[in-house]
Amino acid sequence: MASVLVPVLYVGIVISSLLLFSHFYRKRNAGKLYEPYFSSHPERDVYVTLLQKTDPPAHEALLKAALVRRAMTDVSRVVRLREDKPALQNLLQKGSIGDDLWNSLLQAEKELEAEIVEVVAEANTFVEGWGSIIFQSAGEMIANEKMRTVYEETAASREIKEQKYGKVGAKIDLPLPQPVLMPGPPPPGHPAHAAALAAAAAAGTPSSAPGTPVKPPNSLMPPRATSTKAESVASSDGESHDTPSPSKSSKKRGKKRK
């Protein structure tokens, strides 16, 4: 019986000690102030200052511009938190960073959620339904500012690259292409003419004298008859009959008429 109570008592003591430790640790961290993830929010402070100004009161257009600028800052911070959170979580699991930085990021997320709710409420006080599209407009303005910054810095970056790599787009004079002359047959008096004739004779190609027209190989002229005897035509049963010549047939017809 004693052998069973000892392990049970040991497990109970360990579990109770862990619970007490976690309770006091959480209580201690709850009252601890972490270093803010974002140092300050100057755009929010500017908007609140303009809103509290009463003598004279700030113009409505100025308040709207300050609110849009505040929303632009919130959008940029949301993008930064989305990019930093997976990396910090991975580093926290590996033990590369402490809990302070992670808790600071979580606290910044909660503050940013409250900030977004407040901006939406402030936008709806100016125009009903503006709070649903103010952050979309803020994102478009951020993209426009980035493009304008790149465009304005193009001239300076071009000068830096020209100083580093030389003149960009310098004109280079390229030589004009020379016409290629196809080699023709050597003249009759040239020493290579005899060699060409000998090579043609060895290949079996008939050579013509200079000045003599050469008949093209694919001539369309009909061949001349070399003999008056007609060719034999094979019949369907394998026998062949000689076709009489025109002179003989005409003589036979003349005899029959007589």
Whether 210 contacts 185, CB under 8 Å: no
Q: 10-residue block means of pLDDT along the chain (258 residues)?
A: 76 88 71 76 93 89 94 95 93 86 91 95 94 94 94 90 74 67 62 67 54 46 46 42 47 48
Cβ atoms of 256 and 249 within 8 Å: the answer is no
- pLDDT for res 39: 84
Tell me the two tokens of residue 87: 């990396």
Domain residue spans of the chain: 37-165
Three-state DSSP class for residue 107: helix
- Alpha helices, H only, the chain: 2-30, 42-52, 60-94, 99-126, 134-152, 154-165, 191-203, 246-257
pTM: 0.53
Instruction: Region of 95 please: left (phi>0), alpha (psi -120 to 50) or beta.
Output: left
Residue 226's pLDDT is what? 45
